[in-house]
Structure 1
Amino acid sequence: MKRILSTAVAAVIAVGLAVPVTATAAVPSNVVTSREFAKVAYGNSIQYVRSTFGTNGTVVDRIDVAGTRNDYVKVRFPTYYKDGTVEVEFLRRTSGTWYLVAKYASWGNSAKRTADKATSAEFGKVKQGNSITYTRQTFGTAGTVVETYEAPGTEHDAVVLEWPTESTDGWVQVYFVKNSSGTWKVDTRVAFWGEDAKRTADKATRAEFDRVAIGNSIDHVRRTFGTAGTIAYYFDAPGSSSDLVWLLWPTPSPDGFLNVDFAKTSAGTWKTVGRWAAWEEPAVATDDVATEAEFTQLRDRLANGQPVTLAMARSVLGSAGTIGYRADEAGTDLDQLGVAWYTGTEGAEVQLSFVVSGGTWTALTTDHIAGPWTARALRSAAPEATTGAGPVDRDAPERPTWEHHGLR
């Protein structure tokens, strides 16, 4: 269950943390604003909350047993932002009236694009236990409130602030909890920088990638690729069980990249837990080119519900093909392999996407195959450019889903 701040939190919001809304846009009366959220507090009746928010909301959780002691209801309300939500939890008094015991807001917004952007050097200065004041001073701005939770006392109160980075795709989030004296302290920090791998002179090669395996240390991986890599994502929480870092390396192709994920062990060392490669290189030219008849044979097999193994594809198409991408994590459930075959026309390839099935690289459906030939009635004399067979996607991670330890 999620949550966030209190009336003491309203003080935080007052220092520049109000949730921004487009200046010229009228706010619909049935959505909750940060000002309305700050007006409701512990002990308020459900009628008062609904009146303040201008809507009855939607009951999403209800417990009703004999008596009233354990009766509970959670009501959800919309915010200005499509993905935002406000949730308010109520318990029932012996008189039968419902009263507020906790409130949570995930506003669905992102950091305001201030002139002062968060940098990796600033992020490195923010540590667990630092105050909210120090964090704001370090990043140079107050940040934007994206989540808040408040429950009785201070044990569960939390607020999430977000700062922009130089890249419009990047963001920094810091999760604060309140100590017994009422002071906000850093609990968890997360950064996604939204930037590509630095184009160092030493590029990662296929041979080097093959020498990196699940369980390898971060030092081994860096030695193998010849550079430290570029930090793309960093997650740092109390303890080490959740800590994660993504590093990127450039490949010979300016459009390619390698991404290696590392998790921190209980001993504090970083170990490889996932690796991705997108080589973004054309299929190597071969004397035995892939033909339309061979492509059709494989596609028809998949259309009839019969899998195509990597060995089968190589046999039918007459060569090993060129590996275009590879995804590998612990176990095999998320492993992917993309292979392309030369057809004799530049940019027109046969592509197959494989997953592990029964311990074997296997294409399972027609979504896993792509080729340069269209339907016969529309086919041109020459093969057309291949649109792709679902290459691995390592785009921006989703922002964290913060779990707050609430009443239910």
Structure 2
Amino acid sequence: MSSPGSSVAAVVVAAGRGIRIGGGMPKQYRRVGGQAVLTRTLAALGAHPGLDRLQVVIAPDAADFYEECLADLDPAVREKLGPPVPGGATRQQSVRAGLEALERLGAPAIVLVHDAARPFLDPGLIDRAIAAGRDHRAAVPGVPVTDTIKRVEPAGPGIGRVHETPDREALRAVQTPQAFAFAALIEAHRAAAAQDLHAFTDDGALAEWAGLPVVVFEGDLRNRKITQPADLIEADRAFAAPARIAPMTTYVTRLGTGFDVHAFTTGDHVWLGGIRIPADRGVLAHSDGDVALHALTDALLGAIADGDIGTHFPPSDEQWRGASSDRFLAHACDLVRARGGRIDHLDITVLAEAPRIGAHREAIRARIAEIAGVPLSAVSIKATTTEKLGFVGRAEGLAAQAAATVRLPEETDIPLDAQAETEMRQG
């Protein structure tokens, strides 16, 4: 462990909601290659001998997600972690919360600030960040810009008029981890907060505002940030280490089916396929009662022979009361990919006299594709009535049935770690 005067710490910003990526949970807690994005980020930072402490900033309601991440971490990495602290409404406020937590335990000399959604950092990049932090008061990693950049001015709805074409040789795309003299950075944060300035999107920009000379050191093109569903899919492939999955030559196709039903009750809307649809009644359910997502979740779990939705999200557990069902579907998709599987197609049929879903069909398809991280062309949804027969025909409730087609490695469907988890869950 370094002496206080030379120690290096890192603040890991994990308080965001990750709403652009979908999936029912923040992107930093989604699994890639069988582990959460945040777990992989902390493992990369914590394994570096030059880092003495890690301070994670999380959303106030994300403690359970965070604890799951810790379970997969090496004990030596966990020893470097301080207790997580809750973040603020902006990234800037969250970073300040992390800095103040570090200060309470003894301020380091150098601090790195890193995004939780960048799990691809390697030891060389961390080496360069620490060195730049020691040599300069503020330093950020950057990579050359390969696309031509245009500065535009608004010229109408969805239209911009080119104002300037900067020389891309002088441009850099900035990444994290960014490195700073701890005292200088926390002073800059406090000065900005005192002036009620909270919109800085990275600490390099905040340091510039505070008058600190900021240098750019060599970044890493591989150090990409997970932002969109496609990024999550690519990261999942990148982290699917051969050691986790037995050698495979081909995939076997599996088909799973699911069915769900809910009775009507008082209310003014129903959830179908992750979309809130106005209706003259609601449904009676422990969660949000989305029959389409429930059936689809069961279909995916059936395809990998891993129980059903009640196994993973028991209705007796109060934490799932009123829960958004996109979390259930995202979990099932993560389990498929943790087994080295690929989701090929998702097909849902809604059985209901009302509400009609025609006007919402494309929105539902898009939402399911977003949650599952699959192309829109891989999602189908249909609706039918039961010709006035049965509980659906009497308008007492609605139902959905679903089918999911996935491909799994032929020689071994379940990696050893996932197999052990399944056996433990089944007793």
TM class by shorter chain equals under 0.3
The structure with higher relative contact order (CA 8 Å, sep 6+) is 2
The structure having more radius of gyration, on CA atoms, is 1
Which structure shows the bigger proportion of residues in strand conformation?
Answer: 1
Q: TM-score, normalised by structure 1?
A: 0.22
How high is the TM-score relative to the length of structure 2? 0.22
